[in-house]
């Protein structure tokens, strides 16, 4: 099976994050960069799937030229194709990101006239809430997706990026491609019928059975990502990264600044001393749903 995994380059931060002097960005002078944790698990999951079922894994990222480092890290885990949707380093919102990914995986640039994604309402001409008629927005049609130019059986994402935490790129991509989508997955199996995805929500296990092709976003914990081997690292170093120039557009959300919340020093809530704390401990375990 052919799988594409989308990853994002994010800074590696500690408990406290430093903002640049102009209050606009995270200060990354002394930080390293990595792939967002959920996405690393997505790549691992993809590699395991092709190890089991055959095929190959492509990894994509939207980011600055330096994001090639993150692609190489993922190649070292077992992906065999890497695509950089190269930006100038500015932040891309989830709508534009999803569009760029759709354009890449379908091999076609997004054409506003034929795209199933409705145009954003123009606030200048319609001050009233102009919610498009839901009937005008077609539901995903698996047949349409199969006929479309999609070389992948599975598109994997991380549930949310570590920094922006928007939760929605996978879902938007799925809608644009007319594919079913499940998110927050902690267990994924590929069967003859498609895929069975599981996750836990508030103490119960939710199971989703969906046909392929599909879009799945996963959560850290679905697997334990392997570490790159030394030969893997050297292979990744020698691999070619394909580069594209995606089209940016505004989403409608404009960041005006970043700041560190006025924090209290974090300390654990002390439940008690010695064996006397046990009742409080049991109550906590109960509340957390561990004891049911």
Per CB under 8 A, which of residues 233..272 are in contact with another protein?
Answer: 233-234, 237, 251-261, 265-272
Query: Quick check: 279 binds another protein (CB under 8 A)?
Result: yes
Question: Among residues 194 and 246, whose Cβ is nearest to another protein?
Answer: 194
Quote the least distance from Cβ 148 to another protein, whole Å: 15
Quote the least distance from Cβ 41 to another protein, whole Å: 9
Residues in region 99-138 near another protein by CB under 8 A = 117-121, 123, 127-135, 137
Spatial contact of 194 and 202, defined as CB atoms under 8 Å apart = no
Quote the least distance from Cβ 109 to another protein, whole Å: 18
The structure tokens 């990914």 sit at: 101
Count other C-beta atoms under 10 Å from residue 22's C-beta: 8
Residue 241 half-sphere exposure, CB side, CA atoms within 13 Å?
25
Contact with another protein (CB under 8 A) among 43, 153, 175, 218: 175
Contacting range for another protein; rule: CB under 8 A; set: 46-54, 81-89, 100-108, 206-214: 206-214
Question: Among residues 125 and 149, whose Cβ is nearest to another protein?
Answer: 125
Residues in region 39-68 near another protein by CB under 8 A = none
Contact with another protein (CB under 8 A) among 20, 107, 141, 151: 141
DSSP code per residue over 133-184? PGGGSPPP-HHHHHHSS---SEEEEESS-TTT----HHHHHHHHHT--EEEE
What element of type H or E holds 35? Answer: strand 33-35
Contact with another protein (CB under 8 A) among 75, 79, 154, 174: 174
Quote the least distance from Cβ 94 to another protein, whole Å: 7
Distances (CA, A) of 174 to 97, 98, 121, 157: 13, 9, 21, 11
**Tokens matching residue 265:** 């020093």
Contact with another protein (CB under 8 A) among 2, 55, 56, 226: 226
Quote the least distance from Cβ 76 to another protein, whole Å: 8
Contacting range for another protein; rule: CB under 8 A; set: 49-57, 101-109, 149-157, 225-233: 225-233
Distances (CA, A) of 24 to 19, 113, 262: 7, 35, 17
Q: How far is residue 5's CA from residue 155's CA, in Å, rounded to a whole number?
A: 6
């Amino acid at each position: 099976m052919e799988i594409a995994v989308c990853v994002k380059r994010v800074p590696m931060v500690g408990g406290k994050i430093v903002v640049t002097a102009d209050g606009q960005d995270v200060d990354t002078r002394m930080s390293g960069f990595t792939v967002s944790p959920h996405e690393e698990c997505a790549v691992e999951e993809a590699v395991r799937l092709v190890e089991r079922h055959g095929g190959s894994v492509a990894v994509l990222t939207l980011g600055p030229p330096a994001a090639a480092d993150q692609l190489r890290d993922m190649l070292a885990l077992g992906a065999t194709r890497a695509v950089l949707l190269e930006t100038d380093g500015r932040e891309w919102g989830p709508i534009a990101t999803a569009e760029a990914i759709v354009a890449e995986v379908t091999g076609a640039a997004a054409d506003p006239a034929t795209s199933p994604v409705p145009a954003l309402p123009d606030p200048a001409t319609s001050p009233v809430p102009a919610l498009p008629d839901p009937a005008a927005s077609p539901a995903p049609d698996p047949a349409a997706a199969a006929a479309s130019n999609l070389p992948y059986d599975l598109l994997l994402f991380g549930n949310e990026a570590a920094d922006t935490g928007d939760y929605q790129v996978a879902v938007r991509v799925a809608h644009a491609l007319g594919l079913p989508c499940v998110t927050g997955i902690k267990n994924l199996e590929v069967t003859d019928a498609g895929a069975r995805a599981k996750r836990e929500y508030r103490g119960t296990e939710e199971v989703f059975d969906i046909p392929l092709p599909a879009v799945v976003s996963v959560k850290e914990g679905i697997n334990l990502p392997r570490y790159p081997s030394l030969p893997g690292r050297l292979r990744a170093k020698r691999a070619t990264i394909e580069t594209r120039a995606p089209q940016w557009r505004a989403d409608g959300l404009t960041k005006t600044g970043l700041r560190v919340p006025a924090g209290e020093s974090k300390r654990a809530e002390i439940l008690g001393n010695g064996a006397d704390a046990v009742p409080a401990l049991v109550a906590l375990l109960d509340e957390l749903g561990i004891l049911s």
